[in-house]
Each structure stands twice: as structure tokens, then as C-alpha cells.
Homo-oligomer: A and B are copies of this chain.
Amino acid sequence: MSVTADDLVSRHQPTLDDALAAIRTRGYFSAYAESPSPRVYGETAAAEGRAAYDAWLGADFPVETPGATGRVATERSPYGPELGVRYPRVLADPAALDTLLAAAQEAMPAWREAGPAVRAAVCLEILARLHARIFELANAVQHTSGQAFVMAFQAGGAHALDRALEAVAYAHEEQTRTPATATWEKPAGKGEPLRMVKTFHVVPRGVALVIGCNTFPTWNSWPGLFASLATGNAVVVKPHPRAVLPLAITVQAARDVLAEQGFDPNLVTLAAEDSADRIAAALAVRPEIRVVDFTGSSEFGDWLEDNARQAVVFTEKSGVNTVVVDSTDDFAGMCRNLAFSLSLYSGQMCTAPQNVYVPREGIATEQGHKSFVEVGGGLAAAVDALLGDDAKAVEMLGAVVNPGVLERLDAAPGSGRVVLASRTIEHPAWPDATVRTPTIIALESSDTDVYTSECFGPVSYLIATDSTDASLDLFRDTVRAHGGMTAAVYSTDEKVIDAAERAAIEAGVALSVNLTGGVFVNQSAAFSDFHGTGANPAANAAFTDGAYVAGRFRIVQSRRHPAP
């Protein structure tokens, strides 16, 4: 017996309601368990997910893309193996894009007519299918991004699902804040009132393009994908050539659910390419494309903002994440916490700290005064302690995602005094994996040419400043000019914390204060923490708020007098 759209609405209403409540309170909420434990997901889930992943390797991935020509295989795991999965290839050829985009456009009217409630339910059903494939997805994320398995399961699976659900919830709220119909009755003195009945249609902007990244293929792409889909747009998904499989699985799940519900599966299409094809740029400026979501380099993000003028463009680009160290009453906790943030996924998170500002004269701690050199020593020792056991270290570090990261890491010692050298780790299970520990380089505050741009990867700078005031000025000015996704401050002085908060507001970046425990500056929790602010050059939008969804659709109204 087939499941109707109404069935889906009923089935997913409780989850949607919970998500809607969560975005209003921004407290803790999660709809998808983050523990890969067999006690949560069952004894066989891990092996089945791994088998499902393995079955794709070296095979044609069964997804159809209108306009595609032949197939392309572009993925190699940062852990070593070629994936060899072959996807339909879309060429940057006007006729191919005509076909793809015409198919997307043709799919839209029925989806538009379905309305916000059905679209939300269909999106939640797609998320449910993805959740059922979370171990398969975790393997796919691991072997494209280089994330360690547990991180791939959490950030690439459970947390990405939460972010997608958050986007669907905001989209639903935004579309339904205007009622579908209204009655307008204007008093007319002693005469009959003027009466009109009005209908408000949610009209999608057009075809949306999602351009995925290498490091977080699901977490960074799903919010835009589901925000656009939930608001009635068709979505073309253009994955990073090194990280196709997680999004191919996504597109497959979406197309399955859409087709089952009688919608045209071309509402969600996969546009895979050879990295030389450059179809993202060709697609982004097509008149049919009215929304673009992008995560990646500032260079291409800025190009998109400048050139995809027919579209609303949401970008997350690069930036310089900052830690201001003023003082602490838990020196060990501070060093442990920062060491974790520097080490997790080898610093290959857009949220990982890079610039650690410390007064040249040192800082006050509960252990007494610590010199600048001692602060660096404490941090280096904490990293060493965290990563001392190679077998455990690889579960923290994951693998280096691409050769560019390795080049920057190798060049880093030339830029300053090495406080902590990077070392190479042999992965016990994956002999061809590229695994490196983070390096810490000490700089002077005058070395602006080094630290005012992003050095993506396991490189951080310990920067000697004249004072905490000077640190705060550098923080504000650097983030204003060069962007930043995160910032942190350590201080025992509430006045300094207030000043840091003002600097963060003026820089337009989220601030974490005195993290010494189990919360880390580079982690943002769906439904509670906003990811990015849209208020500095690192991103022009946030995951996820009203502004992130409001521009993806328009309201078109009609009005008439009621029948007498």
C-alpha cells in the first residue's frame, strides 16, 4: 500500500513540531542520535552500512541526470584507496545545461502547488531515509573528506541531519507566517463594508544550485539543499569532485522519495563533473538558476557573488578564526580545550582556531604568571598529550584531505618560530593515509602578512601582542577585514570579557567564552548555535535563520470580492 502525502505529513508532524519549538527557543534539541553505538543503532547497522558503502566502489552509481554524457570517477580517499564510483557526467556545454535545467524547471509546478506542509513532510521523509543510511553515509564522508569515522558519523551524519531539519523548520515557519488565505473587510461608515478574499501563494524563485565542498560534503550542503527544496525550488547538486558519493546518496534518497510521492524526481539532480569541467561557474550564471549555495574558497565565493547576479547567493568562504588569551583560572583546561580544537580533523574545519593572541608579557593563571613562551609550551604539551598514542590520534586527526593542505603545512615552519612541530603518523588500518599532527608557529603582531589570511589545515599561530587591548583590536580589525567563522576569549576579568563581546559584535563573529570543558569553539550545535553570522567577509549568511530562507521564495497574491 502506498504512503500518501497526508500519511507523511502525519508521520513527521511531531518531529517538525519539535524542530519548530527548538528554533524559537534555540535551546538543546537533536532529532538524530549522534552515537554510532550498537545499543543505539543495532548490532548489524555498522556492518550493513559499511557493506552498502563498499558496494558502490568501482561501480556505476544508479542515479539519472538529464543532459549527462557518459560517466566520471573522481574520488580518492584521503585514507588511500581510489573510490572508483562512476557518476553521470555533466559537461559545461550549453545544450547539456539546457536539458538539465529544463528538466528541473518542468518538475517545479506540481511541487509548488503541493504547498509548504507537504513539502516539509517530503523533506523529512528524505531525511528519514538518509538517517536509515547513516553508517553508509559515514563511510562515504570518511573516505571523501578524510574525517575519522566517528566524526564522519556525527558531523557528516547526525549533526548534518539536524542542520537540514533546522533548515526545513525555518523554511516552514517562513512560508506559513503569511496565511494561505485572508478575508479583508474595511468598514465604510454606514454603508456595507468593502470585502475582499485574498489568496497568498508561496512561489519558489526558480532552480537552486548547491555547490558542495570537499571537507563537509553533507553538513555544509544539506541546509541550502533542504531550504531550497522545502520552499518549492528544484535543486541541482554540484558536488566537489573529491566528495561526490555523500551527495550522490543524498540525491538518490531524495529522488526515491519524490518519485514515490508522485513528484518529478528531477526536482533534485546530481551534476557530477571532472574537476577540469568547471560546471559550477557555467551553471551559476544561467538565467534559470535563481538561488546559489556555496561553501569553499573566498576566491570562487566572491566570484559567484559578483557574477551570479540573477540569483540570491549564499556563500561560506574562508576566514581567520581567533582566540584571545588574557588570563585563566584553569590553565590546563584551557590548553586541553584548545589542543582539541587545533587537532580535531587536523584543523581542517572552517571553524578551527588559527590566530591565538597572547600578550607578549604573558598572562595571569591560577598557577601564577605564565610567560608567552610558557603559554606556547602549555599548548604544545596539551597537543602532545592528546595525540601521544598514534592509534587514538588518528581517530582525532582523520587524514589530510588534499595536497594543498600538505603543502601549506610543510611551508609553515618558514613563517615563524616553531613552538610545536608537525609529525607524521602511520595509520594502523590505512597505510596510504596521509596523517599529520598540528603545528604551532609563534609570530609577532607585526607579522600581519602571515596571519591575516587563512592557512587552511593543521597550522595555528601564537601571536605576541602588546596587551590584551591590542589583542582585541587586532581581533576586531582582522575579522572585519578578512572574515572569521568563530572566536574565543579566555579571561578571568569580566571587563575583558565584555570588551571581547563588544569587539565580537563589531567584528560580526560568534564568541565562545572560557571554554575549558567538553564544548569546543569549532563546534556549533544545530537549533542553538548559529553557524556564521553573515556579518563579516567569511560568510554572507548563517545556518540557519530567517534571512537564510526568506529570499528563497516570494509571495504572490490574488484578491477578489467574495461571492455575494
Contacts and interface: CB of A to CB of B under 8 A. Distances in A.
Interface of A: 24-28, 112, 174, 177-179, 182-188, 194, 196, 198-201, 203, 205, 305-306, 309, 501, 504-505, 508-519, 525, 528-530, 533-535, 542, 545-547, 550-551, 554-561
Given A551-B547, A561-B517, A528 B198 contact: yes
B556 A194 contact: no
B530 A557 contact: yes
Contacts of A551: 547, 550-551
8 contacts: A27-B182, A28-B185, A186-B525, A198-B529, A514-B561, A515-B561, A535-B554, A545-B550
Nearest to A487: B558
A197 B198 CA distance: 43
A188 B30 CA distance: 13
B28 A186 contact: yes
Given A24-B177, A182-B528, A504-B558, 12 more contacts: A24-B179, A196-B519, A200-B530, A203-B508, A205-B535, A508-B556, A509-B556, A513-B559, A519-B559, A533-B555, A534-B554, A546-B550
B556 A504 contact: yes
A554 B505 CA distance: 10
Nearest to A535: B554
A509 to B, nearest CB: 7
A517 B28 contact: no
Contacts of A535: 203, 205, 554, 556
Identify the 8 closest CB pairs spanning chains A and B, nearest first.
A513-B560, A547-B550, A535-B554, A511-B558, A26-B182, A546-B550, A550-B550, A28-B184
Q: In this complex, which of A28, A306, A309 has the most chain B Cβ atoms within 10 angstroms of its Cβ?
A: A28
Nearest to A175: B546
B558 A179 contact: no
A525 B184 contact: yes
A556 B533 contact: yes
Contacts of A196: 519, 528
B505 A545 contact: no
Contacts of A547: 550-551, 554
Contacts of A26: 178-179, 182, 184, 198, 200
B505 A174 contact: no
Contacts of A561: 514-517, 519
A528 B560 contact: no
A183 B561 CA distance: 49
A346 to B, nearest CB: 24
Contacts of A112: 505
B545 A557 contact: no
A560 B174 contact: no
A6 B430 CA distance: 65
A263 B74 CA distance: 59
B557 A529 contact: yes
Contacts of A516: 561
Contact of A554 (B178, B514, B542, B560): B542
Given A309-B306, A518-B188, A201 B505 contact: yes
Contacts of A205: 535
Contacts of A558: 501, 504, 510-513
Contacts of A545: 178, 550, 555
Contacts of A542: 554-555
Contact of A560 (B179, B512, B529): B512
A515 B194 CA distance: 12
A28 B24 CA distance: 27
A519 B205 CA distance: 29
A354 to B, nearest CB: 20
A550 to B, nearest CB: 4
A555 B534 CA distance: 8
A443 to B, nearest CB: 26
Given A533-B555, A556-B509, A179 B519 contact: no
A547 B508 CA distance: 21
B518 A184 contact: no
Q: In this complex, which of A200, A501, A514, A560 has the most chain B Cβ atoms within 10 angstroms of its Cβ?
A: A560
A306 B405 CA distance: 36
Q: In this complex, which of A174, A200, A525, A555 has the most chain B Cβ atoms within 10 angstroms of its Cβ?
A: A555
A194 B517 contact: yes
A242 B554 CA distance: 33
Contacts of A517: 194, 561
A407 to B, nearest CB: 32
Contacts of A511: 556-559
A434 to B, nearest CB: 33
A529 B559 contact: yes
B510 A533 contact: no
Nearest to A552: B547
A128 to B, nearest CB: 22
Contacts of A188: 518
Contacts of A182: 25-27, 528
A560 to B, nearest CB: 4
A518 B187 CA distance: 12
Contacts of A174: 546
